[in-house]
């Protein structure tokens, strides 16, 4: 995972792509399923998630329910 998420800002790329668009909603929901990342590559994956989740385009795509889901209000 370090190679995939640690060398470039986005999925194997310097540019945000459709792969990132596909992965972002899946990664956003994993904590609600009790899936947490640890071990080798976790730091890089979490950094990737932060970069994607902080993008204005990603934030604009979320519904209010999706925002609340992540904040633990639902």
Q: Is 10 helix (H, G, I), strand (E, B) or coil?
A: strand
| Domains of the chain with bracketed CATH | 2-71 (1.20.1050.10)
40-69 pLDDT per residue, tens: 999 999 999 999 999 999 999 999 999 888
With tokens 């934030």, the residue in question is 59
Please give the pLDDT value at position 73: 55
Q: What one-character DSSP code corresponds to residue 73?
A: -
pLDDT at 72 over 70: no
7-32 pLDDT per residue, tens: 999 999 999 999 999 999 999 999 98
Please give the pLDDT value at position 2: 85
Q: Which is more confidently placed, 73 or 59? A: 59
């Amino acid at each position: 995972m370090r190679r995939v998420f640690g060398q470039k800002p986005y999925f194997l790329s310097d540019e945000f792509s459709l792969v990132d668009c596909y992965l972002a909603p899946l990664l956003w929901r994993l904590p609600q399923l009790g899936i947490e990342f640890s071990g080798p590559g976790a730091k890089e994956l979490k950094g990737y998630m932060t970069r994607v989740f902080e993008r204005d385009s990603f934030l604009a795509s979320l519904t209010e329910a999706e925002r609340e889901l992540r904040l633990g209000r639902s």
